[in-house]
A and B are shown apart, each in its own frame.
Chain A
Amino acid sequence: MKFRTLKRHLREGIKNIFRNGWMTVASVGAVTMTLVLVGSFLALMLNLNHMAEKIEDDVVVKALIDTTADDSQIKVLGDEIEQIAEVDSVVFSSKDEELDNLIEGLGDSWRLFEQENPLNHAYIIKATDPQNTSSIAQKVASLSNVDEVTYGEEVVQNLFKFNNYARNIGIVLILGLVLTAIFLISNTIKLTIMARSKEIGIMKLVGATNGFIRWPFFIEGMLLGILGSIIPIVGILVGYKFFENNIQQINTIGFVELLPYNPFAWQLSAILLATGALIGIWGTVMSVRKFLKV
């Protein structure tokens, strides 16, 4: 195709956006609505995912060592734990350190135990894959000189469950949204093209090829999609900044950590822009196809 023909199609595509008036507004509105929803859900899902992974990383198995075990037995136990395949790292934590942690977490009232520390020495074990936590716990429990194994079974199980639920629900929601949007947009565009089917017939009678007719529609669809993605992108860029700033302030629980603004907000914007353009192109090209068989 000659450059000047491309220029002509570009010009026609842009003109059509103005010629269509309210239909343009409706199509752009449909894209905007969808992308706002898709964008919010994506931001939410990806951040939840991120946090869940973070928590998963923090999950540790704690093996409480028999109070009767002597130093060499404790050392042997450490080596045995280290040999378990799924174990990533093993760190010894003395009973004094354990108490310090407890006091730090639960308050000074626990200081009265400082005279006579009732706690055990412990090994803090990390799994290579958080999913293996419970199998590690079982293996460690069967070793000698182990008094008790804790790993917050319920927290871990619930977390995995929640995470999978959230993931599945998120995927279903986003798919549903995109399909609804495509339906909405192709309907809107179909309306404008119904009105234009007569025009397409005339263009063909005057000697236009299908490609010549299709190009301006293609460009128009792409522009509609891009126009529709402006508000969602600005929303994400501004809104995400806002959240990032405010979550830092209420972040007392520690594990609420957002994906960093740069690059996440920019990547999400690029995804929205591309999605918008694709929806627009898809909508126009699909609906124009039917009328080209005149």
Chain B
Amino acid sequence: MILMKDIYKTYDNGVTALNGINVEIDQGEFVYVVGPSGAGKSTFIKLMYREVKPSKGKLIINNKDLTDLKEKEVPLLRRQIGVIFQDFKLLSRLTVYENIAFALEVINESPRNIRKRVMDVLELVGLKNKARFIPSELSGGEQQRVSIARAIVNHPKLVIADEPTGNLDPDTSWEIMKVFEEINARGTTIVMATHSKEIVNTIKRRVIAIEDGRIVRDQHRGDYGYEI
């Protein structure tokens, strides 16, 4: 499913964010990525949907080698992955409904299916009554949930989330985690960077800890392991 071999990433400004990453994640796994701020978690995650290109190393996602991925194939890769961005990345002039529908429009889904799937997923994240709002009319947590809805609406095999509960109150966080557990139970792989000790220590899953661009710990049913 996901395979990284000796991955290095040095940004244009000379900062080395990843320093030899080796990891394998199987289909259906639920993985937390933890580590201090600036450790390279977001960079690690951005590799997978090609927002960032590795400087060196071998990277396979969904059985596809990204080393020699053509520019034209990038949209296809991204359609197979649901991404929840640290800063949401919602289209500011579109409504909640239109934002979520966009992910289905790019894959040529029929209008009838789009309507049904969007309404279903809005139900799931509890935003059915705000379908016609635009992002600036929503709270941070609500925007977060829209971004989650967009990521999962086309049933991708892999969902990647960068601090999906970073802006949510504890109650909503747990509800979101329930959604993740649910789609994980259906066989979806989930990779999630997080700073939430409570979540990691309560819902026990595989934990990958990154520090200074290296994996320092990889544990099944692991702990958060850092004191805040």
Chain A residues at the B interface, C-beta cutoff of 8 Å: 2, 4-5, 8, 19, 198-199, 202-209, 212
Interface string of B70-109 (1 = CB under 8 A from A): 0010111111000101000111110000000011011110
Partner of A206, one of B72, B76, B111, B150: B150
- Contact in complex: A205, B83 (CB < 8 Å): yes
Q: Are A207 and B107 in contact (CB under 8 A)?
A: yes
Partner of B106, one of A19, A198, A199, A208: A208
User: Are A206 and B92 in contact, with the CB atoms below 8 A?
Assistant: no
Q: Which residue of B lies closest to A1 (CB)?
A: B108
Interchain CA distance A243-B75 in the complex, whole Å: 57
Chain B interface residue count: which class?
20 to 34
Complex formed: what's the CA distance from A240 to B76 in Å?
55
> Chain A residues near B93 (CB, 8 Å)?
19, 199
Asked if B120 CB lies within 8 Å of chain A CBs, one says no
Shortest CB distance A144–B (Å): 84
- With A204-B75, A206-B150: A2-B108 Cβ-Cβ less than 8 Å: yes
Taking a contact as CB atoms under 8 Å apart, the answer to whether B150 and A4 are in contact is no
Which residues of chain B are near A8, meaning CB under 8 Å? 105
- Total contacts A-B at CB 8 Å: 50
CA distance A5 to B77 in the complex (A): 20
Q: State A52–B94 Cα separation when bound (angstroms).
A: 57
Q: Is the CB of B79 within 8 A of A207?
A: yes
Is the beta-carbon distance between A205 and B49 smaller than 8 angstroms? yes
B108: contacting residue among A5, A202, A203, A204, CB under 8 A: A5
Residue of B nearest to A202 (CB): B89
Which of A19, A203, A205, A209 is in CB contact (< 8 Å) with B51? A205
**Shortest distance from the beta carbon of B154 to any chain A beta carbon, whole Å:** 9
Q: How far is the CA of A225 from the CA of B72 in the complex (A)?
A: 31
Q: Is B13 an interface residue (CB 8 A)?
A: no
Interface residues of B in 143-183 (CB under 8 A from A): 150
Interface centre among B51, B78, B103, B106, by most chain A C-beta atoms within 10 angstroms, is B106
> Could you tell me the distance between the alpha carbons of A130 and B83 in the complex, rounded to whole angstroms?
76
Q: How far is the CA of A16 from the CA of B93 in the complex (A)?
A: 9
13 A-B pairs, CB-CB below 8 angstroms?
A4-B111, A5-B105, A19-B93, A199-B91, A202-B89, A203-B106, A204-B74, A204-B78, A206-B102, A206-B150, A207-B76, A207-B79, A208-B106
Nearest CB to that of A9 among chain B residues?
B105
Knowing that A5-B105, A206-B102, A212-B75 touch, tell me 8 more A-B residue pairs with CB under 8 angstroms.
A8-B105, A199-B92, A199-B93, A203-B102, A205-B89, A206-B78, A209-B72, A212-B106
Report the bound CA distance from A19 to B92 in whole Å.
11
Residue interface bits B100-131, CB-to-A below 8 A is 1, else 0: 00110111101100000000000000000000
What separation, in Å, do the CA atoms of A8 and B110 have in the docked complex? 10
Question: What 3 A-B pairs are tightest by C-beta distance, nearest first?
Answer: A207-B79, A207-B78, A208-B106
**Nearest-CB residue, chain A, relative to B83:** A205
Cα separation A212 to B74 with both chains bound (whole Å): 14
- From B72, B90, B106, B110, contact of A207 by CB (8 A): B106
Q: What CA separation (Å) do A268 and B70 show in the bound complex?
A: 47
Q: With A and B bound together, what is the CA distance between A98 and B149 in angstroms?
A: 95
Residues from chain B with Cβ under 8 Å of A203 in the complex = 91, 102, 106
